[in-house]
């Protein structure tokens, strides 16, 4: 026991829609092939959320299951942060919609937009409210309905992204477990390489912007790749080293799932074997803010109290970072 209060992850849950968009199905939509996609990205399929449903659907399903698992009522949540680039509406915040649908009537909430690093930004922000003693139960959702902003005529982007996400519950801990360190970064100079051209205040929607597909993801993949591969690896190694961790004492690397080659480079820089890296990109593709909670959810049965996790991400903004989490439960 120590006097220092840390924010422990005490439950995790994820959600992916049932509709599976395989590489084979994409072959019928754009000029691409399974071999190219698998070799260049590691992705075999991704999930698609139905029409009329928004990102809040992923959040609501995740948080309801999370509360049930932890044995708490949504009314006990103090704060809900929703990291997403595909909010249900421009406003109000998707966090508010999720809280309303959950019956989390004592919570306040807000959306946080840091693209693929959104979950790490949310986790770090949420942890502050626990550490200061202000709140006892903070939920961080990372979720995206990327299919709502993808151009399914653009083979450079439509093969990468999918829909899904998850949520974690943060609670106070005095055993030295939970979110222990973070190194977060942003560089607005990266905007030119990865952004949505229209729909914001600079270029509001017009018939012309719709016709020009300017509401979809625009990405210069090669440039983003170069920045991602360097920065994600460097920041992950930095957080590992400054916490006295080594390849032997890191239990899991939890990397953003954008491209298998970026994940491999990060693991190599940290000196980690493949069997210490959470990888599910083949099944879900890149779900932006959703990838990290989806990994934690899938690997949760194998996690043990005291495991050292390095979560890391790189994404639009540019934004990137790594977070050191000491897992708080499990046999
Ligand atoms: O999560 C947010 C951050 N985003 C990322 O981290 C994404 C980073 N970037 C990447 O993962 C990769 O750059 C991509 C997967 C997007 C693209 O892979 P690449 O190896 O960088 O390919 P490229 O864009 O350099 O294209 C190589 C070739 C081109 O043909 P030529 O010019 O060499 O004849 C493309 O036209 O592959 C072609 N190509 C395709 N071929 C088949 C591009 N997309 C496809 C496709 N199917 N879907």
| pLDDT value for 1 | 59
Q: Is any atom of ligand 1 closer than 6 Å to the C-beta of 225?
A: yes
Show the tokens assigned to 277. Answer: 């890296």
In CATH, what is the architecture of 6-175? 3-Layer(aba) Sandwich (3.40)
Say how many Å lie between the CA of residue 161 and the centre of ligand 1: 13
Angle (CA) 90 290 222, round 5°: 90
Q: With 0.85 as the threshold, say if the pTM is over it.
A: yes
Q: For 83, phi and psi rounded to 5 degrees?
A: -90, 120
- Where do the DSSP E strands lie in the chain? 6-15, 19-22, 45-48, 79-83, 108-112, 138-145, 163-173, 178-186, 194-196, 217-219, 252-255, 308-315, 319-326
Residue indicated by tokens 């919570």: 107
Q: Is 3 a catalytic residue?
A: no
Catalytic residue among 67, 99, 116, 295: 116
Show the tokens assigned to 96. Answer: 């508010």
| pLDDT value for 3 | 80
Per-residue pLDDT of the chain (331 residues; tens, 9 = 90+): 568 999 999 999 999 999 999 999 999 999 999 999 999 999 999 999 999 999 999 999 999 999 999 999 999 999 999 999 999 999 999 999 999 999 999 999 999 999 999 999 999 999 999 999 999 999 999 999 999 999 999 999 999 999 999 999 999 999 999 999 999 999 999 999 999 999 999 999 999 999 999 999 999 999 999 999 999 999 999 999 999 999 999 999 999 999 999 999 999 999 999 999 999 999 999 999 999 999 999 999 999 999 999 999 999 999 999 999 999 999 8
CA dist 300 and 167 (Å) reads: 13
Same fold across 6-175 and 180-326: yes
Beta strand pairing call for 194-196 and 252-255: unpaired
Q: Is 216 a catalytic residue?
A: no
CA dist 82 and 98 (Å) reads: 9
Q: Is any atom of ligand 1 closer than 6 Å to the C-beta of 258?
A: yes
Residue minimizing CA distance to atom 21 of ligand 1: 222
Best of 23, 120, 156 for a ligand 1 pocket test (most atoms within 8 Å of beta carbon): 156
| pLDDT value for 331 | 83
Q: Is any atom of ligand 1 closer than 6 Å to the C-beta of 197?
A: no
Residue minimizing CA distance to atom 19 of ligand 1: 222
> Domain residues of the chain, as ranges?
6-175, 180-326
Q: Is 256 a catalytic residue?
A: yes
Catalytic residue among 135, 256, 259, 295: 256
| pLDDT value for 156 | 95
Residue minimizing CA distance to atom 48 of ligand 1: 155
CA dist 97 and 181 (Å) reads: 30
Q: For 29, phi and psi rounded to 5 degrees?
A: -105, -40
Pick the CATH number of 180-326 from 1.20.1440.230, 3.40.50.280, 3.40.47.10, 3.30.470.20: 3.40.47.10
Class of residue 100 by CB neighbours under 10 A (exposed 0-12, middle 13-18, buried 19+)? middle
Residue minimizing CA distance to atom 36 of ligand 1: 156
Q: Is any atom of ligand 1 closer than 6 Å to the C-beta of 261?
A: no
DSSP 107-141: -EEEEE--GGGHHHHHHHHHHHHHHTTS-S-EEEE
């Amino acid at each position: 026991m120590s006097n220092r209060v840390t924010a422990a992850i005490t439950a995790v849950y994820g959600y992916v829609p049932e509709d599976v968009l395989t590489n084979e199905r994409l072959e019928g939509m754009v000029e691409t092939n399974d071999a190219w996609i698998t070799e260049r990205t590691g992705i075999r399929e991704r999930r698609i959320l139905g029409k009329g449903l928004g990102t809040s659907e992923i959040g609501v399903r995740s948080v309801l299951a999370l509360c049930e698992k932890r044995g708490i009522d949504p009314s006990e949540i103090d704060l809900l942060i929703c990291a997403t680039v595909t909010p249900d509406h421009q406003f109000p915040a998707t966090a508010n919609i999720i809280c309303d649908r959950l019956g989390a009537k004592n919570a306040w909430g807000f959306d946080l937009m840091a693209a693929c690093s959104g979950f790490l930004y949310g986790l770090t922000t949420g942890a502050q409210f626990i550490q200061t003693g202000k709140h006892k139960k903070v939920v961080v959702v990372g979720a995206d309905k990327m299919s709502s902003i993808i151009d399914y005529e653009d083979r450079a982007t439509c093969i990468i992204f999918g829909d899904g996400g998850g949520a974690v519950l943060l609670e106070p801990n005095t055993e030295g477990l939970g979110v222990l360190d973070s190194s977060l970064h942003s560089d607005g100079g990266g905007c030119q390489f990865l952004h949505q051209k229209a729909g914001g205040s600079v270029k509001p929607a017009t018939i012309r912007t719709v016709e020009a597909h300017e509401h979809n993801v625009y990405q210069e993949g090669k440039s983003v790749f170069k920045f991602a591969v360097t920065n994600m690896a460097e920041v992950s190694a930095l957080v590992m080293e400054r916490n006295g961790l080594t390849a032997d004492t890191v239990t899991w690397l939890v990397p953003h799932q954008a491209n298998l080659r970026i994940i491999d480079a990060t693991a190599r820089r940290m000196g980690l074997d493949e069997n210490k890296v959470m990888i599910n990109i083949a099944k879900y593709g890149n779900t932006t803010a959703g990838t990290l909670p989806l990994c934690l959810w899938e690997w949760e049965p194998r996690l043990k109290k005291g495991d050292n996790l390095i979560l890391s991400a790189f994404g639009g903004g540019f934004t990137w970072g790594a977070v050191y989490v000491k897992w708080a439960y499990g046999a």
